[in-house]
């Protein structure tokens, strides 16, 4: 049985947010359930090989929406919104777990990614109709509130600094993929591909062929294919979400040092690892810290990466070197001298 949801709005959003795509996947002889939905500001695309695939897909979407209702600061009733408002809140075990894992990434990246970046994100509103370019003195004041070390966790009681605001947007879609995998495992699904915006959950035996989008092309143009087994994949890029003013583009990956969009020679970073949360968080962290500084970070978390640079060269960590095929002549693998 195949379920489809039509509508121009969904199609437009899909074209805007997909950064990676599974090109070849299931056997044509198998019964596959497919579904498309929307949550976390992204299209949720599911392809599931299992008995009762439709019910599994519904459970996954319901769980992802539950997670969003807990961790999105934009939802007034969420746990994170309560924490941001009152600066102290008793949170669920699930949310505390996410916070602890992400605080570790903040520490290991030396604060290049920081979950207390909420005030900065809100000041820019990149990708929304409320976008504006903050004044430099405003950014300097906001950056004083960006410091993950001020977040304190004692059992389930979490507190933040007086002027701080939590934003878990840099890992939310990866968290959704983690939850999706747990549900696939619970129902003993044979295979599953769950896409939440720029993050993928690849579940089941065999090899998945995952296309990495050409950062300079349209949504259907991919520059390389990864041939990988069960894992999580996330991509962050400067083309993913942006706004323009006076002819200048401002992308959404903000520097915790300058307060402006991160300015380096990277177009995108794709992470492959065994955690959705980490794949999502590390794609942002590695984009922010750059290639050289990413290598020890990737080693800590046993993750692999593909870096695409603005000169159209591509650098790949050792674990993926035998698993990638460049499909676009405009890009080439960087060769050591």
**pLDDT more than 70, % of the chain:** 90
- Is residue 334 scored above 90 in pLDDT? no
What pLDDT does residue 1 have?
41
| pLDDT tens by residue, 164-176 | 999 999 999 999 9
Domains of the chain and CATH, by start: 8-69+173-333 (3.10.520.10), 70-159 (1.10.3980.10)
Over range 11-26, report the average pLDDT: 43
pLDDT tier for residue 303 given thresholds of 50, 70 and 90: very high
Task: State the average pLDDT for the chain.
Answer: 89
Helix, strand or coil, per DSSP, at residue 250:
strand
CB 14, CB 203: distance < 8 Å: no
Most confident option among 17-31, 112-126, 293-307: 293-307
pLDDT of residue 11: 28
Kindly state the average pLDDT of the residues 259-275: 94
Per-residue pLDDT tens digits for 195-204: 998 899 999 9
pLDDT at 324 over 80: yes
Report in angstroms the alpha-carbon separations of 131 from 117, 128, 215. 16, 6, 23
- The whole-angstrom separation of Cα 223 and Cα 126 is 26
The whole model's pTM is what?
0.90
Q: Where are the alpha helices (DSSP H) in the chain?
A: 8-17, 53-71, 79-86, 93-108, 118-124, 136-143, 172-186, 276-289, 291-300
As a whole number, mean pLDDT of residues 105-131 equals: 91
pLDDT band at 28 (very low <50, low <70, confident <90, very high): low
pLDDT score for 26: 57
Residue 25, pLDDT score = 54
Mean of pLDDT values over 315-319: 96
């Amino acid at each position: 049985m195949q379920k489809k949801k039509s509508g121009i709005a969904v199609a437009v959003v899909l074209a805007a947010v997909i950064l990676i795509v599974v090109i070849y996947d299931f056997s044509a002889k198998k019964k596959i359930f497919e579904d498309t939905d929307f949550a976390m500001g992204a299209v949720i695309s599911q392809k599931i090989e299992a008995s009762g695939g439709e019910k599994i897909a519904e459970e996954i979407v319901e769980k992802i929406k539950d997670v969003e209702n807990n961790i999105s600061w934009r939802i007034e009733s969420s746990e994170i919104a309560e924490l941001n408002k009152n600066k102290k809140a008793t949170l669920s075990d699930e949310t505390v777990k996410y916070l602890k894992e992400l605080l570790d990434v903040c520490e290991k990246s030396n604060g290049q990614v920081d979950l207390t970046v909420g005030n900065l994100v809100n000041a820019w509103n990149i990708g929304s109709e409320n976008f504006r370019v903050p004044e430099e003195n405003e950014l300097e004041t906001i950056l004083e509130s960006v410091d993950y070390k001020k977040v304190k966790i004692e059992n389930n009681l979490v507190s933040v600094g007086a002027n701080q605001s939590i934003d878990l947007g840099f890992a939310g879609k990866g968290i959704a993929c983690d939850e999706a995998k747990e549900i696939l495992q619970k129902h003993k699904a044979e295979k599953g591909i769950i896409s939440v915006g720029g993050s993928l959950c690849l579940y089941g035996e065999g090899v998945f062929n995952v296309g990495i989008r050409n950062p300079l092309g349209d949504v259907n143009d991919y520059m390389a294919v990864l041939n990988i087994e069960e894992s999580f994949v996330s991509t962050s890029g400067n083309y993913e979400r942006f706004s323009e003013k006076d002819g200048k583009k401002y992308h959404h990956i903000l520097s915790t040092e300058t307060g402006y969009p991160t300015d380096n020679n990277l177009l995108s970073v794709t992470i492959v690892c065994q955690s959705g949360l980490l794949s999502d968080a590390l794609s942002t962290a590695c984009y922010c810290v750059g290639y050289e500084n990413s290598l020890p970070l990737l080693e800590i978390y046993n993750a692999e990466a593909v870096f695409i640079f603005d000169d159209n060269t591509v650098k790949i960590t050792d674990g993926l070197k035998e698993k990638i095929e460049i499909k676009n002549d405009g890009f080439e693998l960087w060769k050591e001298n």
